Amino acid sequence: MAEAGCVRELAKLVEAWLRLLVRAPERVRVSVAAGDPGRPIRLMIFVAAEDRGQVVGKGGRTIGALKTVVDAVARRRGLRCQLDVIE
């Protein structure tokens, strides 16, 4: 149960960060797909089509940095997490 709360908080944090980056913050959504035991938890990012480039960043730097931070936070809590931008 504590794990579920941690994952929800992590999803809220990712959503808050993304809302600061995009032009249409009202269209940002982060969904959680729990994986099988031993598999990473998947955070699926949905943004407006015109904001995808902003989220990914030049050469994938922005999403790469976000993945690094999310991974570090998740690992400190004993979790594995994967971020995916859904088109």
Task: Give pLDDT tens digits for 40-73.
Answer: 999 999 999 999 999 999 999 999 999 999 999 9
Count CB neighbours of 6 within 10 A.
18
What tokens appear for 55 in the block? Answer: 């989220």
- Reported pTM: 0.88
The residue that leads in pLDDT, 72 or 38, is 72
Name residues whose C-beta falls within 8 Å of residue 61's C-beta, 6 or more positions apart in sequence: none
pLDDT band at 39 (very low <50, low <70, confident <90, very high): confident
Helix 61-76 / helix 2-21 crossing angle, nearest 10 deg: 160
User: Where does 1-87 have alpha helices with state H?
Assistant: 2-21, 52-56, 61-76
Give residue limits of the domains in the chain.
2-86
Architecture of domain 2-86: 2-Layer Sandwich (3.30)
